[in-house]
Amino acid sequence: MGSGEANPEAQRAAPAPARPAQTRASAGNALESARILVRDTGFEDDDWQGEFIRWTGADPFPALSSAAALDLENTAQAEDIAPAFGRIALIRIAFPSHTDGRGFSLARHLRLLGYRGRLRAAGRILADQYAMARRSGFDEVEIDRALAEQQPEEQWLFRADWRSHDYQKRLGRRPRRALSVAAHRRDTEAPPAAPRQAP
């Protein structure tokens, strides 16, 4: 064999060049997955590798590990879940319909009670609702392939700057502070009548 000829054995033995690690999947790759996550950066593959524990309210969390993922219906009571916050890494709240907004209220309540883990909205959520989901406390939205094809990544990215979609900011107003019950009564109750003076 001449010096200019390639050795077929050496070609077969040569390892393939290593591919650089990808920190984010492309939209095309994400569409191949059964679960597609929508974040502020667009479509991504689901990075949660563990199982989801479906909670119905009957069990007091005996089987939860320190990094559990919980499946909740939008009718769940946030106060019932609060004692286990420290053992829950991810909470996924179901959205059976895009017209049912109870999941937004539940997410907001969980955040107000002190939950600091990941919050995921899953189901029938539209791109128009992404900003509302983020402001409610959700970190991400999970959709299926059919919805991702109906509402492609560009429609979700259009609303990814969810802070700028706050109507109060567009009007140049500061968000109103929530009043306590005592302050609300003080501001709404009529002042006591002045005592009458004797003639």
Instruction: Indicate the DSSP class of residue 23.
Output: S
Q: How far apart are CA 185 and CA 187, in angstroms?
A: 5
| Chain centre distance of CA 174 | 25
What is the residue-level pLDDT of the chain in tens, covering all 199 positions?
544 454 544 444 444 333 333 334 445 555 556 789 999 999 999 999 888 988 877 665 656 767 789 999 999 999 999 988 988 999 999 999 999 999 999 999 999 999 999 999 999 999 999 999 999 999 999 999 999 999 999 999 998 886 765 544 444 545 444 334 444 444 445 555 555 665 5
Q: Say whether 11 sits in a helix, a strand or coil.
A: helix
- Other CB atoms within a 10 A radius of the CB of residue 65 amount to 11
Phi and psi dihedrals of 45, rounded to 5? Answer: -70, 155
